Structure 1
Amino acid sequence: MKQETIIIGGGIIGLLSAYQLANAGQQVVLLESGETGSEASWAGGGIVSPLYPWRYSPAVTALAHWSQDFYPGLGESLRAHTGVDPEVHETGLYWLDLEDEEDALTWASAQGRPLQRVAMEQVHAAVPVLGEGFSNAVFMPGVANVRNPRLLRALRVALAGMANVRIVEHCPVTGFLHEGGRVLGVQTAKGEMRGERVVVAAGAWSGELLATLGLALPVKPMKGQMILFKCAEDFLPSMVLAKRRYAIPRRDGHVLVGSTLEDVGFDKTPTEDALDSLRATAAELLPALADAEVVRHWAGLRPGSPDGVPYIGEVPAYKGLWLNCGHFRNGLVLAPASCQLLTDLILGRKPTLDPAPYAVAGRLL
């Protein structure tokens, strides 16, 4: 059966791309080498903001701001339609002892974002479990986190209920069908599949796929490890971030602490060294966690890319081949805007955002 769009990858980018295209009336088949939502998108923390938004380019900022505005409505719509609540949880975010605090405040003023200095006594009043030893803080209200495993499950349920979507799991893609500079489909472990276009949304594996066409996409795996504690529901009222590590509260009292950043290829084995380091971070940020049980410890592979600017658009050398990949640490943050932009471009609609910074032309090595 000929499909309009074949999407490779069942993480947040692949699932949401499929959802947006299907809602626009397209026939979609989504191919996943394992099970949908089981890789980096599942493993992340789900903060709906880059960790240090002022350190990113305007290209990342534009996607982030659009997505931040979109997330509450997306969460509510998915909950209403699927019965699975992605838990878009607005807690605000405290940054502690920033080296570039002035840059952060200048950026926020220019962007119209409500970032402000807060006296440490106010921070301790608002977050009584916070550790001592921090000198300065800035706070942005309204920053949310999304419970990413539930977001992925909600999208999976939504897609399963759409007649114009087919999801094929345990179906690794091994290469592309192409002729005369046009991609016609894919080769998979389950045989050939043909379509009008193919979208690569395979996260850290996207570079390996494109290498089969002789294209060098500078996207590689960057390992991140996290730990999870179970606390009282009111234990941590806001997200806190210091020294590139963070603590994220879920509504039911689970608290995530992360994360490492490791360049070790496709190895996603959790390590004792990382566990010890993350536990030390947890105890420094929130001393009550020093004696808390680690409910779970895991690792995922982020799709590392130069400057974290994703690739969104058609590959000039191969008509019908589209990319939506290379989001690095910000896949969940940037997904709504990225997938909306991809959908606009595929359907020839006026783009939601300027597509130029994300275009593929001139960015492949």
Structure 2
Amino acid sequence: MTCAARPTLSAPRIAIAGAGIIGLSCALELARRGATITLYDPNTPGRGASWAAAGMIAPAFEAASEPGVHPKLFDLCLESARLWPGFAARLEADSGKPVGYAPGPSLAVAADPATARHLDGILNTLAKRGLPGDRLDVDAARAVEPSLSPDLLGALRLETDGHVNNRAVVSAFLLLCERHPSITLEPTPAPLHSRGSTLDSDGHDLILVTAGWQSGALKVTEHGQQVSLVNWDISLDEIDTYGGQMLSVERRADHPATTLRAGPIYMVPRGSELVIGATMEPGRTTGMPNTDDIAGLLSDAAQIVPSLADARITSTWSGVRPGTPDFAPFLGRTRQPNMFVAAGHYRNGILLTPITAQIIADQMLGAEPGDLAGAFAPSRALPAQA
């Protein structure tokens, strides 16, 4: 398939396929820079993985020592975490709505030797970067968070890791996009058509794919038939699904007031509730939440915080994370000159929202990607291909 010359437009008309937090944030950033945007999504905007998440902004825990991740993911996560204070402040000022941004620190705790070794790896990476990270024994950790079990093996204070109320962020973005005169939201699939060897979207100059794990399932009309968008860029076929189940409990005085991480478990205080997550279920998109899985998740959390054993569950829900083979997003231009992608953020969609919007807006409006942005191009070598 032959690519045409790359378009260079100062005020393009852009079709965005997918209105989750990534699509909404990119739409707003592009519109602020002069583009005209149509956001397409047949589902309720912002109610997919964006809504199901717990709002973790955790570059150290998620990327500093995770096996198999993209070698530059920690750098990308750190840069986005540095953007979050100003990003949250502007979002609140423009929308008039609080978004619950809390810069940290959080506590990562170990209940078994394997998790303790993981914390050692995080601490080692932080030390090499000159970043703060304090090892705490159990007594010191319980002085910070008294609800912790005395049987833990230790903890790590992560100054870089905080959280935000992801649902409040999504709501603020949606409000601003609905208000913006250059943004239109359409409750339909993006109208993608084949024009010879290139794509067209009803008069738009550029196309941005932000449909998460459903990006590869988007359809293109070609010769009267509906065919997969994967045919226009095979990287979209590399976005896999990772189902996750979560719950919230009524937060009592003997429950955590600090954001906690413990292996796959996280606990995030959010007003009168404590959000607890999350299962990690590769390939799963349906049949969630499950009563037994939720009970197991709460039981695992109670090993870290014993007072949760008799906590009252207030809500359960599920979501599907979109992940690539190196657990890092695809950001930038595809092999189609008029199509860009921002998808595959795995567990870091909320964290990476500011940097994603910045990178995508820069590239779609004509800037060449820098070294960091370029490392996440859809055309990069993936582990299975290396």
Structure 1 and Structure 2 fold alike (TM over 0.5): yes
Q: Give 1:269 deviation, angstroms.
A: 2.3
Give, as a single letter, the amino acid of the residue that structure 2 aligns with 1:100. H
> What's 2:332 paired with?
313
SS at match of 2:172: helix
> What's 2:125 paired with?
107
Paired with 2:242 and 2:255, the residues of 1 have a C-alpha distance of 31
Cα 1:151–1:164 change in 2 (3 A) is same
1:130 aligns with 2:158: no
Cα 1:29–1:119 change in 2 (3 A) is same
> What's 2:362 paired with?
344
Aligned partner (choices 158, 180, 183) of residue 199 of structure 2 = 183
CA contact (8 A) 1:90 1:145 kept: yes
1:196 aligns with 2:205: yes
Give, as a single letter, the amino acid of the residue that structure 2 aligns with 1:205. Q
SS at match of 1:306: coil
Paired with 1:353 and 1:341, the residues of 2 have a C-alpha distance of 11
Paired with 2:169 and 2:107, the residues of 1 have a C-alpha distance of 24
CA contact (8 A) 1:341 1:353 kept: no
Paired with 1:308 and 1:264, the residues of 2 have a C-alpha distance of 14
Paired with 1:234 and 1:291, the residues of 2 have a C-alpha distance of 11
Aligned partner (choices 3, 8, 20) of residue 29 of structure 2 = 20
Paired with 1:19 and 1:303, the residues of 2 have a C-alpha distance of 22
Calculate the TM-score normalised by the size of structure 2. Answer: 0.86
Give, as a single letter, the amino acid of the residue that structure 2 aligns with 1:69. R
Calculate the TM-score normalised by the size of structure 1. Answer: 0.90
Aligned partner (choices 88, 101, 112) of residue 101 of structure 2 = 88
Paired with 1:307 and 1:285, the residues of 2 have a C-alpha distance of 29
Aligned partner (choices 285, 303, 318) of residue 299 of structure 1 = 318
Q: Give 1:159 deviation, angstroms.
A: 1.2
> What's 2:163 paired with?
145
Paired with 1:225 and 1:277, the residues of 2 have a C-alpha distance of 11
> What's 1:229 paired with?
249
Give, as a single letter, the amino acid of the residue that structure 2 aligns with 1:45. A
CA contact (8 A) 2:137 2:154 kept: yes
Cα 1:95–1:213 change in 2 (3 A) is closer
> What's 1:287 paired with?
306
Cα 1:113–1:325 change in 2 (3 A) is same
1:52 aligns with 2:62: yes
SS at match of 1:52: helix
Q: Deviation string for 1:53-112 (max 9, x for gaps)?
A: 222434211221111111121212111221221110133121222223332222001223
> What's 1:253 paired with?
272
Give, as a single letter, the amino acid of the residue that structure 2 aligns with 1:183. L
Aligned partner (choices 332, 340, 343) of residue 325 of structure 1 = 343
Aligned length: 353
Give, as a single letter, the amino acid of the residue that structure 1 aligns with 2:251. C
Q: Give 1:136 deviation, angstroms.
A: 1.6
Q: Give 1:128 deviation, angstroms.
A: 0.7
Q: Deviation string for 1:219-254 (max 9, x for gaps)?
A: 12210001101214794232111132111112x132
Cα 1:232–1:68 change in 2 (3 A) is same
CA contact (8 A) 2:105 2:160 kept: yes
> What's 1:172 paired with?
189
CA contact (8 A) 1:268 1:299 kept: no
Paired with 1:44 and 1:233, the residues of 2 have a C-alpha distance of 24
Paired with 1:3 and 1:168, the residues of 2 have a C-alpha distance of 18
Which runs of 4 or more aligned residues in structure 1 lie more than 3 Å from their structure 2 counterparts after TM superposition?
210-213, 232-235, 350-353, 362-365
Q: Identity rate of aligned residues, in percent?
A: 25
Paired with 1:349 and 1:225, the residues of 2 have a C-alpha distance of 39
CA contact (8 A) 2:147 2:254 kept: no
CA contact (8 A) 1:344 1:352 kept: no
Give, as a single letter, the amino acid of the residue that structure 1 aligns with 2:260. V
SS at match of 2:93: helix
Q: Give 1:293 deviation, angstroms.
A: 1.0
Q: Deviation string for 1:177-210 (max 9, x for gaps)?
A: 122332211xxxxxxx331011000001012227
> What's 1:212 paired with?
229
SS at match of 2:142: helix
Q: Deviation string for 1:115-140 (max 9, x for gaps)?
A: 11112111111111112310121111
SS at match of 2:56: coil
Give, as a single letter, the amino acid of the residue that structure 1 aligns with 2:268. I
Paired with 1:108 and 1:57, the residues of 2 have a C-alpha distance of 17
> What's 1:158 paired with?
176
Paired with 1:234 and 1:111, the residues of 2 have a C-alpha distance of 36
CA contact (8 A) 2:12 2:205 kept: yes
Q: Give 1:213 deviation, angstroms.
A: 4.6
SS at match of 2:348: helix
Give, as a single letter, the amino acid of the residue that structure 2 aligns with 1:198. I
> What's 1:72 paired with?
85
Q: Give 1:351 deviation, angstroms.
A: 4.4
Give, as a single letter, the amino acid of the residue that structure 2 aligns with 1:67. S
Paired with 1:331 and 1:246, the residues of 2 have a C-alpha distance of 16
Q: CA RMSD in A?
A: 2.1
Cα 1:150–1:353 change in 2 (3 A) is farther
SS at match of 1:94: strand
Cα 1:209–1:262 change in 2 (3 A) is same
Paired with 1:356 and 1:289, the residues of 2 have a C-alpha distance of 44
